[in-house]
Amino acid sequence: YNTTERMANLFTKITNQMITNCKHCVTGGETYEVMWDKDPEELAQHLDSCLKLNEAYQQQYRVTKDKLFATPKGKQFEFNKMEIFGKFDLFCRRHEVD
């Protein structure tokens, strides 16, 4: 993973897997139709966990990027954030609990 393209691809795969896991967490592995028969409080907790996961994921990206920026001799951590986080952000916007 010594190229920017490979790292971006890895991050995208990680993001996609996180979304898949969040979908499974929210639905319990069942169809979306069955999801609405579940306890609303439990469903809201699962959705909130997904939102927090996205926040923590992006926060760790920023922390790592800042650490690398502090040591400019090494390779920097600059990727297309929309490519990496865009799908997860969209997933979260669709499922935000107001």
pLDDT tens, the chain, 98 aa long = 678 889 999 999 999 999 999 999 988 888 878 888 889 999 889 999 999 999 999 999 999 989 888 887 877 778 899 999 999 999 999 877 55
Q: Containing domain of residue 75, as a range?
A: 4-95
What is the reported pLDDT for 61? 93
| pTM (predicted TM-score) | 0.86
The number of distinct structural domains making up the chain is 1
Q: Which residues of 20-46 are buried (b: 16+ CB within 10 A; e: fewer)?
A: eebeeebbeeeeeeeeeeeeeeebeeb
What is the reported pLDDT for 98? 58
